[in-house]
């Protein structure tokens, strides 16, 4: 099976469940604890391209920092990505990468299909 990378938050039950699914699949896993090792602007931009999303779609809009930074009214792509770099808790989780593709592993039921695609 191929290499899979997960942007993981061990405090999140959905992220832990996703990691368990990956471990059970037998694939080689690179775990990136993105709250400790923040993805760079280029890495987030690449992830957005792989996901086919704009920055707001990758953001946790219910986080206090989202409101504090007034991101609801922000439309500038670079400013939104910069906000995720500066505040990685804004990044939705878990993000799973494989073979130049990515998904947000919610619901976790989509992960097995992603791994076999």
CB 80 within 8 A of CB 74: yes
- Going by the DSSP 8-state scheme, the letter that residue 46 receives in this structure is H
Active site residue 12: yes
Looking only at the bridges linking them, the beta strands covering 28-33 and 95-98 are unpaired
Among 5, 7, 12, 90, the one annotated catalytic:
12
Angle ∠(16,18,19) on CA atoms, nearest 5: 65
Residues with catalytic roles: 12
């Amino acid at each position: 099976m191929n290499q899979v990378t997960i942007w993981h938050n061990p405090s999140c039950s959905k992220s832990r469940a996703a990691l368990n699914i990956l471990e059970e699949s037998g694939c080689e896993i690179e775990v990136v604890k993105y709250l400790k090792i923040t993805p760079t602007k280029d890495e987030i931009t690449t992830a957005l391209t792989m996901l086919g999303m704009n920055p707001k779609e990758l953001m946790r809009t219910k986080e206090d920092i989202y409101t504090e930074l007034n991101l609801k009214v922000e439309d500038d792509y670079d400013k939104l990505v910069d906000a995720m770099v500066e505040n990685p808790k804004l990044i939705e989780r878990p993000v799973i990468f494989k073979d130049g593709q990515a998904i947000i592993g919610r619901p976790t039921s989509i992960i097995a299909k992603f791994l076999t695609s």
